Chains A and B, each alone.
Chain A
Amino acid sequence: MPREEDPELQLRKRRFHSLSVTASLPYHFEPVMGDIGKPIRETERPAPVRAPEPEPEPPPPDREPPPPEREPEPVEAQRA
């Protein structure tokens, strides 16, 4: 005949079990918020599309600034 376990040990086991079971509860536990009526239908809906993260601005280029545009030579100089 199996020996009966110490009641205090049983109590400790139960407490430990309840804690381990509920370790993940806080993220899922939701009391009833209020009366939302009777179920009408069940649906399956897609996840919302999150707005894309704004891309960081590209760093300034290391290139030297382009040389200033040369002014067109006067027409008289071209003729000469």
Chain B
Amino acid sequence: MSAEPVAEPLVGFRHWGCKRGGLYSGIFVAGRFVANPALGMIAPRVGQMPWPTDHERVAKCFALRGHEAPYRDCNCGWSAYYSLAAEPELLAPECVWGAVVAWGRIVECETGFRAQFVRPLALLDRENPSDLREQGRRAAFAAEAYGIPLLDRDELIAYAHWHGEVRMTVR
């Protein structure tokens, strides 16, 4: 399948684990955030790195038979959902939601996409009651560190529309 050229970037919504103002990729298991578990298994001594604050992230696939990311038949690439739930689930104290803008090669799926380049656009201003350590201020700290706005849901969606195509689906 050849990539179809489209005139504007794609905007999506996703979550991160947020620690000390840094946004980390990872998984949420039983109410806890685990940053990059696969990396931890391969190289336990390599420190976890947050998303860069000053430039975009470039996708790369580390499958055994490597290919350019994102690849249609793989799970590689930076992923995000097309839409934001009315009340996005906060899966752990570290969980924050936000919008990203994506460009380059993008594999568009049913409810989300995987992209070659992404950059955070804004974070969702939503109190996380389980965040006792940082009193629900994680998103605010991250927004300040990344120089992006902290917005409520409606403003976040409107802001996302301003930066690219938003493909809202019912979630």
Q: Which residues of A contact B (CB under 8 A)?
A: 18-19, 22-23, 25-48
B6 CB within 8 Å of chain A: yes
B109 touches A40 (CB 8 A): yes
Point out the residue from B25, B110, B111, B114 that lies within 8 Å of A29, measured CB to CB: B25
A30 touches B59 (CB 8 A): yes
B106 touches A42 (CB 8 A): yes
Q: Which residues of B6-37 have CB atoms within 8 Å of chain A's CB atoms?
A: 6-10, 14-15, 25-27, 36-37
Minimum CB distance partner of B49 in chain A = A26
Q: Which residues of B37-56 have CB atoms within 8 Å of chain A's CB atoms?
A: 37-39, 42-43, 45-49, 52
Cα–Cα distance between A5 and B142 once the two chains are bound (Å):
49
Point out the residue from B2, B3, B57 that lies within 8 Å of A27, measured CB to CB: B57
B81 touches A47 (CB 8 A): no
Q: How large is the interface on B (under 10, 10 to 19, 20 to 34, 35 or more residues)?
A: 35 or more
Point out the residue from A19, A29, A31, A35 that lies within 8 Å of B45, measured CB to CB: A19
Q: Which residues of B139-153 have CB atoms within 8 Å of chain A's CB atoms?
A: none
Q: Which residues of B contact A (CB under 8 A)?
A: 1-10, 14-15, 25-27, 36-39, 42-43, 45-49, 52, 57-60, 62, 72, 75-81, 101-114, 117, 119, 163-164
Ranked 8 nearest A-B pairs via Cβ: A37-B110, A36-B112, A26-B49, A28-B60, A22-B43, A44-B3, A37-B109, A36-B109
Cα–Cα distance between A56 and B37 once the two chains are bound (Å):
45
Q: Which residues of A contact B26 (CB under 8 A)?
A: 31
Cα–Cα distance between A70 and B76 once the two chains are bound (Å):
76
Cα–Cα distance between A75 and B155 once the two chains are bound (Å):
65
A45-B38 in contact given A19-B43, A28-B59, A37-B112 (Cβ < 8 Å):
no
B47 touches A42 (CB 8 A): no
Question: Can you offer 27 A-B residue contacts whose CB atoms are under 8 A?
Answer: A18-B42, A18-B43, A19-B43, A23-B46, A25-B42, A26-B47, A28-B57, A28-B58, A29-B36, A30-B78, A32-B75, A33-B25, A33-B79, A34-B112, A38-B110, A39-B72, A40-B108, A41-B4, A42-B107, A43-B3, A43-B106, A43-B108, A44-B4, A44-B105, A45-B102, A48-B101, A48-B163
